[in-house]
Structure 1
């Protein structure tokens, strides 16, 4: 457990914080209230009688390659293959200097009531407190990692995700591989020892980024295309790249790229046990494996944020306990399944909910182009025409899923994913499937094995539905169930399958995904599909800084990938949240794990 006492209130309370306290809708939860809250949740967990079903995920492979031009930003320390120079667009430099407007300059919402405590529950906690030594969202997105800032962050106001300055005031792109970043002058470390509110310097930022990039550290791959971090003054930093990378600013805005102070690290050698002292909007007052308490930072450089006084984040692995906590208003917000949230919303008309779709996660279907009969494009097309993803969506996925090529999308640049209409003519037409098979003289085929990972019963059910579809045109298919670890070893790494059904490889970055999965030399190109034009487009988009031009390249890439009829996501994964109506502006889209939206959440008085 880590516990830190914030500064004495009378000595450090800013005008903003005093305003928060005078406008508070209700008092902060006292310690006895927190203990009661935890006790109540423990009772709910015990009463639920639910054993948490945890499925082991396969270990991400470490793939050796020559010097990569771009690197994955997946939790794995996976390297991408070297780029092969090909014709294509050159990097389009940004206008210089570029000043990114602060998203917090927005007018506060009408009827805003400042203050109060937001209490919510998440399924997983953090293994420890060091943001550079874990990939855990329990720390970096929903935990004490929110006490740290980054050079950049994502503004999700308005439905998209735009990279904006966090600690920076402005940046310039001097060359396609060189950035100059100027820091804000008003940023101070939180008023806790050993920093005691001293001013942030460029040397602090360089120390932190170099530490994150340490070979062997779990988040080093995010920054591995950066060859130099240099503090040229107290407030300016030069960053140089090994090769042009259109995702450079996104990587610096990633939730794993938290800025930590050298004194705090050097005091204990690492930050596993804390203390957590950052420059962010929240002060970590207590952090344990089962809960985190965050208080508003009275000296935060944005005087208008956060709107709340505190966050109380409970780790509750049991879904039934989270739902029960919501029903009795022990917590204000909870993550749960669609069925659980739908039931709660039907029971309480003052519960709101949202589903956030991830086009890079869900149910991936892969056809091995190195094995017959999948080695023929027309036959792969015919196989897809026997399948009905719309029916699977309704039967297995609550009608909430959609089709995707698998490209990760942060919402940066509207319209960079293929629309649903692009998939319309590729499925659910058995007559056309039979016709295509007959043109190849294939009336019936030998036995095909559909290998499905045990990621959940719905995956299994869908695999059998796929086998039935193939049987309708004379293709015999058996379903083989394997553990998730075996699926990772045999499918993701080994490519040992005819048709595979399971979770896609865990790669979060668009460029990393394209290089790893779809490039001819990709370490996770398990379908064996190769197309020189796809390789060229992957390499071109990786160095194209212009958002509009890059979007055009990404759309063309997806069309060519879909045209190969070898890999797609039949049902995107959706994460569901519910909250009471007295919680306002809760918008849990977290590009690259960014949860800055919590600074803009506000609450009105809870009903008695």
Structure 2
């Protein structure tokens, strides 16, 4: 009898199990934050939830956030705040490696204007040559947390944030960084506009997707921008927790305005519940965590890190090789243009020609690198970049290793026996060995260079006031805007290079909004600059980004503009695959 009752009970449960799925009116189905029904995902279909733990590329140069106040922090602070706050524009995911492949999004601080799309702005126009008008996205809300509590974003909010950052009224913002802007004003509840002092060619970088123009609320300033708990924005994630020098945790903003369409279906972004960024400046520690699956992504690995990953995790080799990039980051040696013997182009060429750049690439980048990439590189496209082999002979010759010709140039300049000088380099693991190789190359042509290794802050201070002797090193990153660094009075023009024709052409280029005309000027100016041999360009090595296969819809992006890291809003984690792989 008991057995019969048990059988009837099991049959009843089976019937209930079969019937209930069809009774949708009686069962509350699980939904996402925007009301979409959660269903079992098909293969490679986006999955909501999960936590991403990346080895963040910014930690190649620094630790955690350097502050939360837009008018005070450096580019490092911008990187961490870009998860939280939107700008007017950002990189277009659909044009990246996961879309049409038009742009790789591998530079941390530059994207072509053509690869940008609207963020807080949906469209823009130039009603006059010196005015750009932005139509703001409607229905955007501040994050539903203190101190904004999910209220609507307004045009007044956007204008307030921009004006505070620029520092028009009190000069306490980033003024005079943006002294090319005459006014930022509200046109109506849906529109704002910038008025420039003169036509602005690089407006995308300067006010759209570039540095410092993230939008933050007045309530955060009133509550105190020195406290991360007071930080809010309109972006895909908010700061859930921050332990100084240990870890920062971002949580999903369910009210972010962005969506993404795959196979005809539109998804609310972001997919991830959390992003946890351990603050680990030590590369070896980050690398060990990635290789053991404790970190999901390792951004911008150098050759040594790449080799170590493949040795321990050979299954990731194909992913690494697929994302080899020449990012155009490297460093220059600056000549003091107002001091002998560097005023003579023959001396500048001789010091270049004495260097075996390929030997440096073999020694420090295991044979993978480039020697001709600043201020533009090949990835900037033929409309801007001229390859070395297409440059005049006078440019090609000083990028070739030719110590005999270098000696001839020194003799012609009045230094048949060479001279003594100083080589100042920033602290790094490779600086002593790199500096020693430079010393050896120059010794071969009679130049005795004393090597001094100093903290980067000291080098930068010496460069800003042009107080150094000999040649001095400093990091660089290729992008069209750095043409400005060669203008006579620019702070980062450490060497004091100053050329009237260059200055005139740059002023024309930067006030030419027509992209084709602007690029034509810049292309010619690139070659002209190189004919003057203004400095010594050190080789740049390749970099790789690796990620475990359970990270989906991510293909090695490192920025959607100037250190904009909201590309992870498009990624998701396949927890089942992760478990299958034993992690």
- 1:198-213 map, 5 Å: 198-213=151-166
Q: What is the alpha-carbon distance in structure 2 between the residues aligned to residue 523 and residue 589 of structure 1? A: 27
Task: Report the alpha carbon displacement of residue 572 of structure 1 after superposing the two structures with TM.
Answer: 2.9
| Residue 126 (structure 1) aligns with | 65
- 1:140-539 map, 5 Å: 140-141=78-79, 143-155=80-92, 157=96, 158=101, 159=103, 161=111, 162-214=115-167, 219-252=174-207, 253-266=209-222, 268-270=223-225, 272-289=227-244, 290-303=246-259, 304=267, 305-335=269-299, 336-351=301-316, 352-353=319-320, 354=323, 356-359=325-328, 361-404=329-372, 406-407=374-375, 416-421=384-389, 422=391, 424-426=396-398, 427-437=400-410, 440=412, 442=414, 444-473=416-445, 475-484=446-455, 485-500=457-472, 502-504=473-475, 510-511=480-481, 513-515=482-484, 517-539=485-507
Verify the 8 A CA contact 2:545 2:556 in the aligned structure 1. no
Matched, 1:586 2:530: no
Verify the 8 A CA contact 1:20 1:309 in the aligned structure 2. no
Task: Report the alpha carbon displacement of residue 602 of structure 1 after superposing the two structures with TM.
Answer: 2.9
Verify the 8 A CA contact 1:129 1:274 in the aligned structure 2. no
SS of the residue aligned with 2:83?
Answer: helix
Task: Report the alpha carbon displacement of residue 400 of structure 1 after superposing the two structures with TM.
Answer: 3.7
Deviations, residues 29-64 of structure 1 (Å, cap 9, x unaligned): xxxxxxxxxxxxxxxxxxxxxxxxxxxxxxxxxxxx
Q: What is the alpha-carbon distance in structure 1 between the residues aligned to residue 519 and residue 478 of structure 2? A: 17
Task: Report the alpha carbon displacement of residue 358 of structure 1 after superposing the two structures with TM.
Answer: 4.1
Deviations, residues 565-586 of structure 1 (Å, cap 9, x unaligned): 1314212366554321222323
Task: Report the alpha carbon displacement of residue 167 of structure 1 after superposing the two structures with TM.
Answer: 0.7
Q: What is the alpha-carbon distance in structure 1 between the residues aligned to residue 147 and residue 426 of structure 2? A: 48
Structure 2 residue ranges without an equivalent (≥5) = 1-27, 105-110, 260-266
Task: Report the alpha carbon displacement of residue 487 of structure 1 after superposing the two structures with TM.
Answer: 2.8
SS of the residue aligned with 1:503?
Answer: strand
Task: Report the alpha carbon displacement of residue 490 of structure 1 after superposing the two structures with TM.
Answer: 3.4
Distance 1:208 1:481, change over 3 A: same
Verify the 8 A CA contact 1:495 1:526 in the aligned structure 2. no
Deviations, residues 524-572 of structure 1 (Å, cap 9, x unaligned): 4443443221111211111121222222222222212211113142123
Task: Report the alpha carbon displacement of residue 300 of structure 1 after superposing the two structures with TM.
Answer: 1.7
Matched, 1:596 2:566: yes
Matched, 1:551 2:524: no
Task: Report the alpha carbon displacement of residue 437 of structure 1 after superposing the two structures with TM.
Answer: 4.6
Verify the 8 A CA contact 1:177 1:244 in the aligned structure 2. yes
Q: TM-score, normalised by structure 1?
A: 0.74
SS of the residue aligned with 2:241?
Answer: strand
Verify the 8 A CA contact 2:425 2:435 in the aligned structure 1. no
Verify the 8 A CA contact 2:66 2:74 in the aligned structure 1. no
SS of the residue aligned with 1:244?
Answer: coil
Q: Which runs of 4+ in 1 moved over 6 A?
A: 408-414, 506-509
- 1:81-96 map, 5 Å: none
Structure 1 residue ranges without an equivalent (≥5) = 1-10, 26-108
Task: Report the alpha carbon displacement of residue 492 of structure 1 after superposing the two structures with TM.
Answer: 4.5
